[in-house]
Structures are given as structure tokens and as C-alpha cells.
Amino acid sequence: MTTAANTQPPARRRDDARDDVVLEARDVTKHFEVRSKQGTRVVRAVEGVDLQLHRGEIVAMVGESGSGKTTVARMLSLYYPVTSGEILLQGRPVKSVWGKAAKDYYAQVQLLFQDPFASLNSLKSIRHILGRAVKIHQPRLGKREVEQKVLGLLEKVALLPAEQYIDKFPHELSGGQRQRIVIARALAVEPQVMLGDEPISMLDVSIRLDVLNLLTRLRDEDGVALLYITHDIASARYIADRINVMYAGEMVEGGPSESVIHTPQHPYTRLLLDSSPNPDRGIESDQGSLFDEVGDLGEPPSLIEPPRGCRFNPRCPFAMEICTTDKPERTEVSPGHWARCHLHTVGGAEQLRAERIQFGVPVEQVEAELAAVTGDDEPHADVETSTVALESQTTDRIGGPQP
Ligand SMILES: Nc1ncnc2c1ncn2[C@@H]1O[C@H](COP(=O)(O)OP(=O)(O)OP(=O)(O)O)[C@@H](O)[C@H]1O
Ligand code: SF4
Ligand SMILES: [Mg+2]
């Protein structure tokens, strides 16, 4: 049966690992050239993103579809070369993606795929899939030692008793069990970093929490650094030590999870939180009061011709003149918590106040809006309820510790 223990929020990482940066993206940009009848156009998919992954830390990257999350993960996994900027592993810039350099890189950085079925060869047994990963990393091991390693990996991902799983084929396993095999295969090389691109999104809701708990155990026991990519800010809060928010190819906010969730500093983060599903609220109120007046929020912007200034300005209820011309700088709002929004730059809030009042918005309403987005109001609680919902949904449906 499910125990209360595996529905508790995972413990947070220790602060003594703070300076231990394993993998870093420094000011990385990715532009794709797309050829069509109209000629060659450039998709500005990722622009000037900074990201640090520390040992024993889970960092979430959240954002809506098309915001560039996968592209960042693919640059970090060297699948896409960066257009500009650099990737650093253990503080050293990664120059080559071929031969031994690539092999060394993948011995430390592993990608977890979204679809556990597509990423496993259905014609091969678990013994073969995991054994091959072990042998690539440790080619001198004999048959018996490889088998021991494979059994150890199955135990590590809680597929127990391991002997019952070793000769199965992927199609004989459930989605959650397959995702555990994907995680075990990544662990075979004893990596420092795992890049999880929506690793639970294709799993049944009843087994998501188990996989999240497994990932936090790997963080705590093995010191693995994990990038957790998701649309779902509630699961990000559940698992991550820090949350970064992507919008239209740019990182707009980042900081300790609790701080980002309770005092979001960017209007887009606020929108994500307000629209996070909450069974305790009606569908109509799910958009949240802050964005009620905006009505139809519209589509994310084109990345071929992104909006000038702040890319969120066509959808932002606070957009000021400066937002349509100048890109906001990164501003630290509390220790480790930053946002890119003109409301936080010197004079930004005053400018908004003046523009809104001139536009006829009542002073009290302007003050309430400002307080909401600059963190001076009551802590934001909606997503907490959503996390509880994630847990209770899962608790109701999990039959045991394994999917
Ligand atoms: N190979 C490519 N060629 C051209 N454009 C691309 C390519 N890969 C991604 N893009 C574009 O880059 C942008 C970001 O895509 P990306 O897949 O990184 O977003 P995402 O945040 O992962 O979205 P989702 O949540 O749907 O997975 C999108 O506009 C996408 O169309
Ligand atoms: S910079 Fe301007 S448009 Fe962008 S989020 Fe802040 S207030 Fe809104
Ligand atoms: Mg994606």
C-alpha cells in the first residue's frame, strides 16, 4: 500500500552544495533557419538564457508550449549546437561534441526522454538494454559483473525483486515501470546531471508522484543534479529546489521554489500560477482575478518576429510604453530571486502607477495590482492547493510503491 511517506513533499537540498555548479548554460541563444517559399526566416527560439545546475539540486524550467524548454535541454545535451553563448561542464567550456569528448560528456550528462515507450527498443530485454549502457561506461566488466550492476540499477529504481524484471521486455511493463527503466539506463553511467524533458507528462496521473519521488531520492542519495522541464508549475513546486520560468524563448524569472510560488515577481509567472488547475475553484475563476480584465490572453508571440522590448508586452495587463521598446534587465528582488520586468527597475512601478491612473483606472485598483505583482500582497496560495490535489489524486489511485 502507499505509505504517507511517499506523498510528502521531498526534502529540500542542502545549502552547503551552493557553489557546486556541475552544468551551466551561459547566455545561450538558439536561432533556427527555416526555409520556405518566402525565403529563409529565422526562428528566435531561445535568447540569452543563463542556467546553473548545482550538485544535488533539482531545478525546474516551466513555461507554456513553444517557450523554448526543449531547445534549452537539447543545447545542454549537445543535440543542438548553440547559436551563441556557451555550455560549461564542471566549469570548463564544452568545445567539441564528437568522439571521446562527446563520450566523456555523456558519461556525466544524461537526457531522460518524455516518452518511455519510444525511447526503449521493444525487441530487447531489460537485461540487454541496461547491460549495454553499463558496458559502454565500463567495457572491462565481465558478464557476471554486468548482471550484478543491472540488478543493482533495477533495485535503485525500485523495480523489486530485480530478478523478476531483468528478463522482461519493455512491452511487458507499465508506463511507470518503463520510465523507471529509462531512469535506470541513465543512471548506468553514474551521471552527474540528468536532463528530464517532461519525464512524467506521458505517465498516468496515479504514478507520477512515485516517479517524482524516485527522482528526489536520486538527488538526495547520489547527489545527481536534475533539470526538470514541465508545463505544470504545481509539480515543479513539489519537486524542485529552484524554479525558472521561460516565456517565448527567454527566462523571465527564477529563484527558490517557495519564493517564486508564494511571491511571483513577473506577471507571466503570476498568470501561470493563476491558471494552474485547482479543483477547489470553478473553471471560470481559474484564470484568476489579476488577468480577468485582459479577457482573451491570445496566442504566444511569433518567434520569427518577436515583440520588441519585453516579449510578454502584448499579453501583459501592466504593459507600459517602455515595455514596447526596451528589454527589461534582470533585477534581483530578494536573495537568489530575480525577474526581468520593468516594474522592478528603478521608477518602473511609479511609471505604471502614473500611466494607469492617467488612463482612468481607480487608484485603489492600481495599488492592489501593483502589490500583487511586486510581492507586497498576501502570499499566493493557489498552487499549494494544486500540489495537494496532485498528491491526493495520486494517493487515491496508487496501489503500492511501484507503478
Ligand atoms: N528544429 C527546429 N527548427 C525550427 N524551429 C524549431 C525547431 N525546434 C524548435 N523550434 C521552434 O522553437 C520554439 C521552441 O520550441 P521548443 O520545442 O523548445 O518549445 P517547448 O517549450 O519545449 O514546447 P513544448 O512545451 O510544446 O514541448 C518553437 O517555436 C518551435 O517551433
Ligand atoms: S516588462 Fe512590462 S510588459 Fe513585460 S512583464 Fe513587466 S510590465 Fe509586463
Ligand atoms: Mg518541449
Indicate whether this model's pTM tops 0.75.
yes
pLDDT of residue 345: 79
Coil, strand or helix: which one is 170? Answer: helix
Dist. CA 366 → ligand 2 center (Å):
15
Name the residue of 61, 70, 228 whose CB sits within 8 Å of the most ligand 1 atoms, as the mutation to test its pocket. 70
Write the DSSP string, 272-293: HHHTS--TTS-TGGGG-GGGGG
Name the residue of 49, 67, 230 whose CB sits within 8 Å of the most ligand 1 atoms, as the mutation to test its pocket. 67
Coil, strand or helix: which one is 330? Answer: strand
Minimum-distance ligand to the CA of 248?
1
Q: Is 310 in the pocket of ligand 2 (CB under 6 A)?
A: yes
pLDDT of residue 281: 38
Dist. CA 29 → ligand 1 center (Å):
13
Per run of 10 residues, the mean pLDDT along the chain (length 403 residues) is 45 58 97 90 96 97 94 95 96 85 91 84 95 92 96 94 96 92 93 94 84 92 95 91 97 96 91 70 38 55 94 91 94 94 79 70 76 60 44 35 35
pLDDT of residue 380: 52
Coil, strand or helix: which one is 50? Answer: strand
- Which domains does the chain carry? 4-247 (3.40.50.300), 270-385 (no CATH)
Cα dihedral 131, 133, 137, 138 in deg (nearest 10): 0
Q: Is 333 in the pocket of ligand 2 (CB under 6 A)?
A: no
Q: Which atom of ligand 1 is nearest to the CA of 67?
A: 21
Going by C-alpha positions, the residue among 239, 267, 231, 235 that lies closest to residue 340 is 267
Minimum-distance ligand to the CA of 44?
1
Smallest CA separation from ligand 1 atom 18, residue: 68
CA–CA dist 51, 346 (Å, integer): 25
Count Cα neighbours of 99 within 13 Å in the Cβ-side half-sphere: 3
End-to-end CA distance of the chain: 11
Q: Check the CA dihedral 274-275-278-281 and report its sign.
A: positive
